[in-house]
Chains A and B, each alone.
Chain A
């Protein structure tokens, strides 16, 4: 056999054995198909096949997807984990799971069982699934470049210690979490050590703790999400370069409940958000160089509460409408700027009719300072005596920062 012949022989051999099939097959999974369970389906499938899961109930758990597959549900077939543990674990790149109804994830006190867990994989695609009675919903662990879209997660969490999060990202980068609806879990969306994530159009309601919770997660973008009626609102901590725009934070009521809690957040942009009927709209602690532009604070207890160590933040063109307290400080030092906002409590005038009030507005009331010190005094809210004290403090500030004023308060609400 000469050299050329040998080459073509190897080539043939390679073609017959080694080269993966380039066409993808479809394997139906149903009660009387060749593959009766999803487990069998996965075992039968070649790389890049599609498992077409017919409408039935599959009592399975600990399913490991270790090759690039597409799992496609017809009419939301039920995958019932019987509360025995984790249901899907994805350990391969290019896996897609779509149209399944995944229920009964087991609760564990030692490991975080999830309905779908993605481990060290990329290009995953989790779309249009329904999750019920779960511990953790979608758990992304050291994974990247994936999409989590249009899922409905409905939990029945009662206590924090034995409930999990809806969408949980841990050391995961470049993931898009969009248009999901999450209810009744511990934290709706949770991020830890996850950078460049895009969170968009999600609705997170009635969760036990936070609607959105992230820590040590930089360069993320949050747009057009809705956070309503969560136990403690939204908490964001220890992160840099965050952009939050067009989100709505509604009705987060309670003694330790915030529309948004910012702690150690630096260089962020918060614009075009709506904070309505929260006990505290934004609680700021140790956060620097944040720009707040064109947000609406409507009917909150405290619109903005500044707790300390907050420097070089700027508030421009925001609307402060009918809040019990627009702004509260716990010290009389101020390094933040307020300019060109609309304050519904502004009592000045505009003689030259240029749309800007002629006298500066002092948004911090003495009463808010007193309430910080002795919370019970809150019962004197809106009493004449308090108005008198506030007035005298406004005229000559003693307890509140004297350089804290909006020099250009707007006369009309900013559209």
Chain B
């Protein structure tokens, strides 16, 4: 009997000491619930290099992008390595909701107007709930703004239009490394020859490697699936750096593509890296917070 009472007392004493647990931080840790954490900043901007990344401007944020692509480096000193010919696109992108962005742009190549929407369908997350990647759908339209070559022919407005659909699948593997897969389809309403394909399928792979908080190296490759287009055009390959200052991101890149809209850089790239048909380009991204939180 005495033994049991001693045991009881010891147990009670233990219980008391547990109550007076000393390390309160440990207590807080123990009480903490596991939360779901969504992966952010898979890429620094809405582009990998030429192509779209899974990033959307934050809701209420307007992003202004002014992009340049110069002529070919193999133009030599006479062309100042391409700097004598500048192609430009300026565009706006707006985050409507956390999962929807709308964009609009104008490029001097074929006087193209482009518009697009980007939908974030799935988000990479970890913690309580896990999901391995982020999935976006990109839908774009590009309208050739040049005057019709033969105004006397019956010309349809629809023949100016090309569409692009892309699935953007990206995973942030670590703080430094993110990779993206972008199965893409370009549909041209009108193509110049009978043999040319209206539909071009390509698979894009891209990624970024962060060197430090403000600097990352990005690369991107679009492989055109076999067909007339892949026989007559080149796969687009681009490599660049993203340099971030306060509210700006500067992108510098080298690419065998001159154009800045999907339908052209995916399906109409003619430059060959091996031959030195490399275009230097840069873009300046600026964000404006329209709606404050």
On whether the two chains bind one another, the answer is no
